[in-house]
Each structure stands twice: as structure tokens, then as C-alpha cells.
Amino acid sequence: MNIWSYILKRVLLMLPTLFGVVAITFAVIQFVPGGPVEQALLEMKGRSGGGEASGGGASGYRGRQGIDEQRIEEIKKLYGFDKPPLERFGQMLKGFATFDLGQSFYHHADVWTLVKSKLPVSITIGLWTFFLTYLISVPLGIAKAVREGSRFDSLSSVVVLVGYSIPGFVLGVFLLVVFGGGSFLQWFPLRGLTSDNWATLSWFGKITDYLWHIALPVTASVAGAFAVTTMLTKNTFLEEIRKQYVLTARAKGLSERKVLYKHVFRNALIPLVTGFPAAFIGAFFAGSLLIETLFSLDGLGLLSYESVIRRDYPVVMGTLYLFTLIGLVVKLLGDLCYVWADPRVQFESLSK
């Protein structure tokens, strides 16, 4: 099986997976109480909060009492709930096929436009988290493997495990309290990626202002992420160092540096290289909700959370579709990276 046949087979397998995820989520949504119709009726009655009926219709919902039936039908038509669920599901799939994700009930804007407007925040946190994690973790993991059992290895392991044991949002709260104007120092801003006067600053001032704003959220995101990568790097290097070919290379008189970087390095980095795509995309979304909420950053995590709370179903389904599609593509890229890093792996074995 050549590479193109393998890619085609994987893409064809993605389609039923993507369909299943979207179909199950759509079915669950039909039974979620307090849908957009019910919330609209509550607003009309001057009340707030969720309802007790299903997410799709207003039938049997006590919030409809005192509201004209024609008005209720107009609201249902406005949100598309005047059609049967299967018809709505079919229209949604047709739109997804052309990346038409629909219109947001709450924001009254195209879902794809909303996603693009939130991407800069998520990309900013994700890129910094990804690059800092690998820039710190890989060299640290190699150093720990080479110096296994030393005082450096023990002390760094304590630091790594402490960082791993503290959730990112807990560290974020601590950083805000200590350095963000809480109870102690006011060295860093509490919210946003830039200051209000960012447009009037010089290019150097803009860079400084930007780095000043992202210091705390990026620190909170990186703290837990780099621990896993560090220990993975250390363990993979230790496993390779103990193999027979390393002993043979040393017996031939090669220096420790050549043995490490010419022989061990490539084989040990295979698990890390194959995890690059997933780590790169995961840095954008993993834990982004809590970090974005804590530091008042208007990104994809906050958008997804608010859409669930407000029953903004087009945003829920649209973002779920995009995230699932990205996850499937990233999994495929991870497998291709594995073959690229280790040519001994054949596509037949990956497809089993």
C-alpha cells in the first residue's frame, strides 16, 4: 500500500466517524431543556433562566402561557424549529459539506466568522504554550536522562512533578493574586491581550505590551504541559541508551556526544515527533476554557462554553464539527509523521 492509498483509506474512514459524532450530539441536543425558543419566551415574559421542556420546541412549556400562539410559531420559525428534526439535521449536514456552519442565535453572525474572530486569542496562547513546552522539555529531558540518578535529576523531577500536580487554572489564580493586582503586587494586567492604547504605541511598545499581557496566562498553560513532555523525553532517551547498538557504538570508541546525538537522538525523538501535530493543535484547545475565562481572554474556549450555556446550537454544532474534523486530520498527520521519522514502519502495519 502506497502513501496515497493509505491517505485515501483514512479519509474515507473519517467520514462515518465525523457523521457519528455530529449525529449523536444533534440527537442529544433535542432533549436538552431550555432551548432557544424557551429562552426567547422567557425574555418576552421578562424572566431569565432555563426552561423545563425539550431543547427543540415550546410544546407543553409553561413559559408559553399568556403568549399568543402565532407569536410562538414565529419564534420557532425564526430559529428553524418549525421543521422536523430529520429535516433540520439534513440541512445542517448539507451546510457542513460546504463549510457553511450556520448563523448564531445569540450573536446574530455567521458561525465561521465568529470562529475566525476568536482564533487570534487561542492561537496566541496555543503557539506560545506549544513552543515553550518543547523548548524547555526536550533539553531538560535529555539532561535528566544523561544524568540519571544525580542531584540534578532528583531536584528537577521534584520541580516537574510539582508543576504537573498543580492545575493550570489554580496556578493562574495564584499568579493573579500575587502578581496581577490581587493582594500583593500589580506587575501584570488582569485581562486582555493588549492595552487600550495599543494602537498608539511604537512597534517596540506594542511588542512589550503584548508580552506583558500574555506572561501570566502562558505561564499557567505551560506549567502542567511541560511536565509530561519532559518525563516522556527522559524515559525514551533512557530506553534507547540502554539498547545494544549504543553499547556497540561505545565499544567502537565513539565519543559520548556522538553516541548521544548521532545514534540515540533520532530514535528517541520518534515518539515526540509523531506527537507534534496532536500537541500543536491540543495546545490551542486543551484547558483553554479555564485559562481564557480566568484571564478574560475572548477565545474559542470561552465561545464554546457560552454557546452551550446560551443554547446557541449552531455555534455548538459548528465548533464541534470543526474540532472533530481537525482532530481526525491531526491523527492522520501523526501517523504520517511516524513513518517519516522511522522509515522501517510500513503503511500496511499502520492500517491494521
Q: Would you tell me how many other CB atoms lie within 10 Å of the CB of residue 215?
A: 17
* 261-276: average pLDDT: 70
Q: What is the mean pLDDT of residues 13-39?
A: 81
Q: What is the tens place of the pLDDT at every residue in 109-158? A: 888 888 888 887 877 777 888 788 888 888 888 888 888 888 888 888 88
Q: Which pLDDT does position 269 carry in this prediction?
A: 72
- The greatest distance separating any two alpha carbons of the chain, rounded to the nearest whole angstrom, comes to 91
How high is the pLDDT of residue 52?
41
pTM for this entry:
0.67
pLDDT at 286: 55
Instruction: Summarize pLDDT for 214-256 with one digit per residue, the tens.
Output: 888 888 888 767 777 788 888 888 887 777 877 787 787 777 7
C-alpha triplet 129, 275, 278: angle, nearest 5° = 60
| Residue that wins the pLDDT comparison between 56 and 36 | 36
Give percent of the chain with pLDDT exceeding 90. Answer: 0
Comparing CA positions, the residue from 137, 294, 128 lying closest to residue 215 is 128
Q: What is the tens place of the pLDDT at every residue in 182-214?
A: 667 778 777 777 777 777 888 888 888 888 888
Amino acid 55: pLDDT: 43
Kindly give the residue spans of alpha helices, DSSP state H, lying in the chain.
3-29, 36-44, 69-78, 85-97, 111-146, 151-165, 168-179, 203-241, 244-251, 256-258, 265-268, 270-274, 276-285, 288-294, 300-309, 313-341, 347-350
Which domains, from first to last, does the chain contain?
A: 3-97 (no CATH), 113-350 (1.10.3720.10)
pLDDT over threshold 60, residue 177: yes
Of 120, 147, 127, residue with least CA distance to 303: 120
Cα separation, 322 vs 206, in Å, equals 32
328/305 Cα distance (integer angstroms): 22
